[in-house]
Structures are given as C-alpha cells and as structure tokens.
C-alpha cells in the first residue's frame, strides 16, 4: 500500500519540491496552499504518476484546517507524513519599527497554522500507531540576526514544539523531525520583501544557496529511515554560509 504525504505550502519552494520528490517515489499526495492556480498545475503534473488530493487552504484558518482534514477522502485519510512547511518571513526591520500586522501574520502562519494542522492530523496517527510529523523550522530559530525578531521567534517555537511533541509521543511509533535550513533560494525572500524582486535577488547574489530540492532530499531521507529511527533535528546550511561573531557597539562607553 502506498504511503500518504500531506504537504502544506505545496504551491512553491520546499513544499512543491517535496511533493514532486515523494511522487517520484510513489507516495500518494495531499497538497494545499492558498494559490489555486499553482495548486491546480501541480496537481495536474503529479496526478500523471500518483493519486493526488488537492484543495486550497489558508493554514491560519483553524476551522478550514479541521474541515479539510475531516473531509479527506477515505483513500487519503490515513496520513503517514505531515509536512508542516507552510510559512513565511515578513520584513527585516528592527523590532521597534516592524509592522505589527507582519508579526501577526508570521505568528498566525508559522506557529498557529502549524499547530492547527498538527492537532488535526495527530490523533489519527496515534490511533494507527504510525506516522511522522516533519516540521520546517529554520536556523533562524537557533541563531539571532538583526531583523529576524519575530520570524526567528516563530521558528524557535517550532523547534521546541517538535521536541516537546516527541516527549508526548513516547510509547507510540509516531515520529517527529524538525528540519532547520539556512539560506535557501525560493520565493521566501520575494515574500519577505513583499514582491521587491531586486531586493530579494540581492539575498542570493554571488552565493550558492541551498535549493528546494536539497531540502526535499533531506525530508525524504528522514521519512525513509527504518521505523525505529527518529531523526530529531537536521540543521543545514549551504557551504557559503556560516556564523557571524558577536556584535559589539562601541557607542555606549558611558
């Protein structure tokens, strides 16, 4: 029987790459996202090789998440892998100048949306004593950088929540993994800079960033370890990225 993967944020970047990779390995796919045109073209592409269930979903809408999970067709209901990938960064301003709505949107998507999806899918996994929740965190959840503020905070939540889920799931065969990528080229920066493609392009200029396929490769690897193996966290950066020294201001000597 084919495995079933439920991918949030499948309309772009990591989510689309994961859906494609899992499909090449014969997994049945549940795909969602807000952009219906993107969703439909991915559905049509994947449906040539595997069964696909696609529906528009804003993960910030708890009732819609619950309704979508309750309405899964029988052949898609026993989800083996939930990939909590939908997420975004908005802005890179210092905290004192951030747009409050951006903070709401990041918390509502990266934290609350992930919680809604997890809470809706998890009981079935526990009941079946089988399943894997793979969350997409970020290096931003471990290492601060100027302007990371709430984005970093949401990903720190995802990291800790993933570890705490493991604690709750002890005694079951349900696995949990947090993937924590660094610089990766997708629509991420275009979204962060609200459609400013020149600014988004500068982020990757002269670098060899990770690509969505690199992340898909890791997600697929953690998902296909032997059933007794739980990869807790994977932190991954491109070779062109490393850590900054601590920043010290010399303007405050008084």
Q: Work out whether 81 is an interface residue with ligand 8X3 (CB under 6 A).
A: no
Taking CB under 6 A as the rule, does residue 51 contact ligand 8X3? no
CA dihedral 138, 144, 150, 152 (to 10 degrees): 10
Angle separating helix axes 114-128 and 62-70, nearest 10 degrees = 30
Q: Which is nearer to ligand NDP, 2 or 44 (CB)?
A: 44
* Cα dihedral 204/210/212/216 (nearest 10): -170
Residue from 51, 124, 182, 211 binding ligand 8X3 (CB under 6 A): 182
Q: Which two tokens stand for residue 147?
A: 């302007």
Tokens encoding 55:
């529906």
Q: Which position among 140, 169, 215, 222 is part of the footprint of ligand 8X3 (CB under 6 A)?
A: 140
Residue number, 88 or 126, with CB nearest to ligand NDP: 88
CA atoms of 66 and 216, how far apart (whole Å): 26
- Least distance in Å: CB of 127 to ligand 8X3? 33
Binding mask 183-222 for ligand 8X3 (x = CB under 6 A): x---------------------------------------
Residues serving a catalytic function are: 151
Cβ 60 to ligand NDP shortest distance, Å: 5
Which listed residue (3, 11, 109, 138) binds ligand 8X3 by CB under 6 A?
Answer: 138
Instruction: Please report the DSSP string for 42-103 in residue order.
Output: HHHHHHTTS-EEEEE--TT-HHHHHHHHHT--GGG-S-SEEEE----------GGG--HHHH
Binding site for ligand 8X3 (CB under 6 A): 138-140, 148, 182-183
């Amino acid at each position: 029987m084919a495995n079933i993967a439920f991918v949030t944020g499948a309309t772009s970047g990591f989510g689309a790459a994961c859906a494609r990779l899992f499909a090449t390995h014969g997994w049945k796919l549940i795909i969602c996202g807000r952009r219906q045109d993107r969703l439909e073209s991915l559905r049509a592409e994947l449906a040539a090789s595997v069964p696909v269930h696609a529906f528009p979903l804003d993960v910030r809408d708890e009732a819609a998440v619950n309704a979508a999970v309750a309405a899964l067709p029988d052949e898609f209901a026993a989800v083996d892998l939930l990939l909590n990938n939908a997420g975004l960064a908005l802005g890179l301003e210092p905290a004192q100048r951030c747009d409050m709505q951006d903070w709401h949107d990041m918390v509502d998507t990266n934290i609350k949306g992930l919680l809604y999806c997890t809470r809706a899918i998890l009981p079935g996994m526990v009941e079946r004593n089988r399943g894997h929740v793979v969350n997409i965190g970020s290096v931003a959840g471990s290492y601060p950088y100027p302007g990371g503020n709430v984005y970093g905070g949401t990903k720190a939540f995802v990291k800790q929540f993933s570890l705490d889920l493991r604690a709750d799931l002890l005694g079951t065969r349900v696995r949990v993994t947090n993937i924590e990528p660094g610089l990766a080229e997708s629509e991420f920066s275009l979204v962060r800079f609200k459609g400013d493609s020149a600014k988004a392009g500068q982020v990757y200029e002269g670098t060899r960033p990770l690509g969505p396929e690199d992340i898909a490769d890791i997600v697929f690897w953690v998902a296909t370890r032997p059933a007794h193996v739980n990869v807790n966290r994977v932190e991954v950066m491109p070779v062109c990225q490393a850590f900054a020294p601590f920043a010290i201001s010399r303007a405050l000597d008084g």
